[in-house]
Chains A and B, each alone.
Chain A
Amino acid sequence: MMFDTYSFLIVPVFLVAAFSIPVAKLYKRKLPENIALYASLLSALLLAASIPALSSAKTLSYTIGGWKPPYGISIALDQMSAVFIAVSLLALILCIVFSKEHLRTHKSEYYSLLCLFGVGMTGIFHTADLFNMFVFFEILSISSYALACYAKNKGAFRSALNYLMLGSFGTSLMLLGIALLYGITGTLNMADMAVKLEGLMPTTPAVLIAYSFIAAGILLKAAVVPLHAWKPAVIKNSMPEVGALFATASTATALYAFFRVSYTVFGFSEVALFRNMLLVAGIATMIVGALMAVSQKNLLGLLAYSTISQTGYVLVAFGLANYTAGLFHLFNVIIIELTLFFAAGILIRSAGTSDIVSLGSKKITHPLLYWVMLLAFLSNAGVPLLNGFASKWMIYVSGAAQAPLVALVAVLVSAITFAYSQKAFAIIFSGRKNTVNIKISQTSRACFFMLAGLMIFFGVFYVGGIYVFEMAAESMLDQAGFIAAVLGW
């Protein structure tokens, strides 16, 4: 088939876009944002071109420069990475659209950095080589550090510096883990390493030390408790559009890398200890995120902690071995948080404050914003007939069957989520004086309608939509299939 491997062009497309933007700016002031938008739309098309081939062959692979797999760098795309790419591209496209509509200055560097973010993100989803994954992680991180500085208040620089110190220490740990693994196995190709590790695992404990270095580096990026402290500070101080990207796309990328390393390279899917550790980390993340969200005075801080808490649910679902529910919940969280962050962005720009109480002292009478935020907050708390409920329900059910205590905690955290969401929502829309003038362009309206539509669709008809996540979960656990496809067996 012709279009099989077109999705591998996504990374070069973003790279070319990122470096052509500073030049394009010299010709036309509005060109940068259009280049970024069209590059991401083109990437979505390229991904779509690979879908037919993916539905027949589970994993597509490609070797750069024709060097045979264990020696050259392999690129692989399976159904799991396709789902992650689709979701993260959606976040990136919406981020570019909302920045285009609502940022008054046309900063070309900003769009260039967004494209670089796209390079790192899609690179991690495509690569089948551990060191390559590290390099793309660094590209993602460096563009994130720069994007985190974009708000013009001075707090942004402080939190960005904090993020940089922690983040690059995390990626250094990852490099150390990869170096140890290379020393032990003599290979960097994920499939080849998986084959070699299978024999080494019981006899060489150093392998587990290497794994824990890599996992610590990745989980720091995913903001799993206790490695979460940098994230709310960064999101609180950066622009809401950038915050949306950090809350959704970079969490999804880090979780993808974590699952890829844990399941495909190390084959931990059947290890009980690993599942229990996921459960513990997930429950801690869930509770700490929700409790910290309750005490937040800043709307963006509340959303940031809410994201962290929802990431905990994803880990819990994986710990309960309900992988479909985990991936489905991750998708739902991304849709919900995107809606909330973009709506909050418009509110904060119009009202000039991100403090919940000061937002409440102003009269906000925009019906679209009101309904969209209500819907997203309800879905976040897990109210039936909305997508947040559908995936949480699946987690409750498998929790009740395997570990009732976990299900109980999940329900309790959901109740806390409901409480802080409704409190924030009620305060924000309670103002009766000082009307805020809110303008939302047609494009943004369409985006909000699409997000709301997705929330309702996956809440009501999730039986149809869940098929995609079932396939993704299946391909994530199919270690043998991945190895065979990448090594060309």
Chain B
Amino acid sequence: MIEFIGAFLLMAIGLVALLTKDNLIKKVIGLGLFTDGIHLFLISLGWRGGGLAPIIPDITFRQFALLVDPLPQALVLTSIVIDLSITAVALAIIVQVYKYYGTLSAKKLGDK
């Protein structure tokens, strides 16, 4: 249970940062935290105490029920890569915004 609470707390922190922070870089960090909360949630779905790695030839039939679900980890791996590229594109655009507007404040940017 604690891991789900942690995941949703992380999402909430990310959401607050995304909505209330004025600095564009902090907004990007908030976006990253929000996605990481979802990743934690997905990983927790596949967690099993005392579980085994799901590699079929290494195990006996008795251990079969102990295998963890490998799919969430694969999903999160994919999603982390996507998150990385979004962060990269976001930072690249922010560099350009700073070059043209000379500010990183979302509020000042909105006024210009």
Residues of A that sit less than 8 Å from B by CB? 131, 135, 138, 141-142, 145-146, 149, 154, 157-158, 160-161, 164-165, 168-169, 172, 175-176, 179, 182-183, 188
> Which A residue's beta carbon lies closest to that of B85?
A142
CB distance from B31 to the nearest CB of A (A): 6
Please indicate which of the listed interface residues B11, B27, B75 has the most CB atoms of chain A within 10 Å of its own CB: B75
CB distance from A189 to the nearest CB of B (A): 11
CB distance from B27 to the nearest CB of A (A): 6
Q: Give 17 A-B contacts (CB < 8 Å), ordered by A residue.
A: A131-B78, A135-B82, A142-B82, A145-B90, A158-B109, A161-B24, A164-B86, A164-B90, A168-B35, A169-B18, A169-B34, A172-B31, A176-B11, A179-B75, A182-B42, A182-B71, A183-B45
Asked if B93 is at the interface (CB within 8 A of a chain A CB), the reply is yes
CB distance from B81 to the nearest CB of A (A): 9
Q: In the complex, are the beta carbons of B101 and A165 less than 8 A apart?
A: no
Q: In the complex, are the beta carbons of B86 and A142 less than 8 A apart?
A: yes
Q: In the complex, are the beta carbons of A179 and B93 less than 8 A apart?
A: no
> Which A residue's beta carbon lies closest to that of B97?
A157
Instruction: State whether A157 and B90 are in contact (beta carbons under 8 Å apart), knowing that A142-B85, A176-B41 are contacts in the complex.
Output: no
Contact residues in B for A141 (Cβ distance below 8 Å): 86
Tell me which of B11, B45, B96 contacts A149 (CB under 8 A).
B96
Q: Name the prevailing secondary structure of the A interface residues.
A: helix
Asked if B68 is at the interface (CB within 8 A of a chain A CB), the reply is no
Asked if B29 is at the interface (CB within 8 A of a chain A CB), the reply is no
Chain B interface size, as a band, is 20 to 34
A-B contact count (CB 8 A): 70
Q: In the complex, are the beta carbons of A182 and B82 less than 8 A apart?
A: no
> Given the complex of chains A and B, what is the CA–CA distance between A431 and B87 in angstroms?
47
Q: In the complex, are the beta carbons of A164 and B34 less than 8 A apart?
A: no
Contact residues in B for A176 (Cβ distance below 8 Å): 11, 38, 41
CB distance from A430 to the nearest CB of B (A): 33
Interface residues of B in 33-77 (CB under 8 A from A): 34-35, 38, 41-42, 45, 71-72, 75
Asked if B89 is at the interface (CB within 8 A of a chain A CB), the reply is yes
Q: In the complex, are the beta carbons of A168 and B31 less than 8 A apart?
A: yes
Q: In the complex, are the beta carbons of B35 and A154 less than 8 A apart?
A: no
Contact residues in A for B18 (Cβ distance below 8 Å): 165, 169
Instruction: State whether A179 and B82 are in contact (beta carbons under 8 Å apart), knowing that A145-B93, A165-B31, A169-B31 are contacts in the complex.
Output: no
CB distance from B58 to the nearest CB of A (A): 19
Contact residues in A for B97 (Cβ distance below 8 Å): 154, 157-158, 161
Asked if B94 is at the interface (CB within 8 A of a chain A CB), the reply is yes
Q: Which 6 A-B pairs have the closest CB atoms?
A: A154-B100, A157-B96, A138-B82, A179-B42, A183-B45, A157-B97
Q: In the complex, are the beta carbons of A149 and B42 less than 8 A apart?
A: no
Contact residues in B for A183 (Cβ distance below 8 Å): 45
CB distance from A243 to the nearest CB of B (A): 18
Asked if B23 is at the interface (CB within 8 A of a chain A CB), the reply is no
